[in-house]
Amino acid sequence: MMQRSLSHIVRKSIYCGRYFHTTAVRSTLTQVPMAPPDGVLGLVENYNMDENPNKINLTVGVYKDGWGQVTTFPSVAQAQKIIDMDGQMNTDLSYLPISGCEDFKKHTIDFLYRDGCPHDGPALIDEGRISFVQTLSGTGALAVTAKLISSFISTKIWIPKPSWPNHTNIFKKNGFTDIYNYSYYSEGQLTIDKWLQELRDIVSKDKSGIPNTIVLHACCHNPTGLDPTRKQWEQIIDVIHELKMVPIIDMAYQGLESGNLIDDAYLLRLCLDKSRYRTWPNGLYLCQSFAKNMGLYGERVGSLSIVTPDSIPKIKEILESQLKQIIRSMYSSPPGYGSRVAKLVLSNDKLKYQWYDDVRAMVARLKSVRTMISERLGWEDIINFEQQHGMFYYTNLNPGQVKILRDDFSVYLTNDGRMSLSGVNKSNVDYLCNSIKATLHKMH
């Protein structure tokens, strides 16, 4: 008699008097489907197994220097040395508070709202209108924001099309049930007019009384690298404010647009401009990260700050109480070492000015990469420095062309054609551009 496979059966023993009787119970784990691999990290795994000595990884948004190495910024390295020499700072491994390190909080708020928004920010600090928590980088800030808003304010979110793929994942997994995409980009151009018309047509007709939230890339849009001009941002924020939407600013790349960390906070400054927008009734949410602009990728250093309306008594304390509950249930408290490094860089004038120089040097290298590619391929839009910014460039290569680059030349881009420019340097730019030329010729 053929024996049945019970690989998906759990045996359950039931005590009946003097004997145990074993029954078979079908496991509901068999209903769990296989999740698709991450669109970026899955490609990294393939890259790591590739044996081609000329292989190029242009997938992950991690900054590499001109020799292809992920190196520590001089400002961060100096901060680490100071920490290493301070025995107490280096050996205290106790938990941080739920909302994070108090010194990190003070200096990050000062950096974002005093330095970054000198006209309107200091008053918000002095009036106690900024709720703040340290988070697991920008991704953690978005997740905490999503949980808070979906629990108390809205489950409707607008995300640009295209956008960082994890945006939809984060909001979907944290309570948002109505996820819309607004038109952002098509055939190499921003579609601002279409974007705003969609908001006017749909949001203005929403009579539910529940506000719509919207995700805004502060600068260096991921994946396209293409940002609105300052004038276009004014049009955009005017409409968002008029429609009483709730803005969530994702500022993961501050400094990587212009090389100037303060200049790149322009979207936050615009939203806080009291001469244009007196208040945001449901708050303004800033999800910020030091991963890219300090190179603290694995240390997970970021923050969520909420600019609260001035019309609700004790709203800052109320929101912070809820944020603490959310964080406690997610990961209890943030890690300590990275926040010590960031706090030291922000609080030490010498290190802070060195950091500003580090960011300028990083952006100068990324611009030189754009120029090298443009010279070899004739791609003029890649050096449109008025709107093309940051670490990423949207090549408009289709999935078939991306596959040829990967299979025939071991050049790895994400499937949407996004290129991480920091993976390009003088030693591989010719191989990259020749591979692209050969791919385009093959597809013709």
SS3 state at 89 = helix
AA identity, residue 284:
L
pLDDT means per 10 residues, the chain with 444 residues, are 46 57 74 80 78 91 88 95 76 86 96 96 94 97 98 97 94 96 93 96 91 97 94 97 97 96 97 94 97 94 96 92 96 94 96 97 96 95 91 93 94 92 95 96 76
DSSP assigned state of 37: P
Contact present, 137 and 289 (Cβ < 8 Å): yes
Contact present, 83 and 443 (Cβ < 8 Å): no
For residue 4, what pLDDT is reported? 46
Alpha helices in 92-152 (DSSP H): 102-109, 121-126, 137-152
What b/e string do you get for 59-96 counting C-beta neighbours within 10 Å, with b at 16 or more?
Answer: bbbbbbeeeeeeeebebbebbbeeeeeeeeeeeeeeeb
SS3 content of the chain, % helix, strand, coil (to 5): 45, 15, 40
In 3D space, the residue among 176, 163, 173, 182 whose CA is nearest the CA of residue 243 turns out to be 182
Extract the runs of DSSP E, i.e. beta strands, from 226-363: 246-251, 284-289, 301-307
Beta bridge partners of 133: 304
For residue 3, what pLDDT is reported? 45
Q: How many CB atoms lie within 10 A of CB 333?
A: 16
**How far, CA to CA in Å, does 167 sit from each of 12, 140, 161, 267, 362?**
42, 11, 11, 19, 26
Residues designated catalytic: 164, 250, 292
CA R_g for the chain: 24
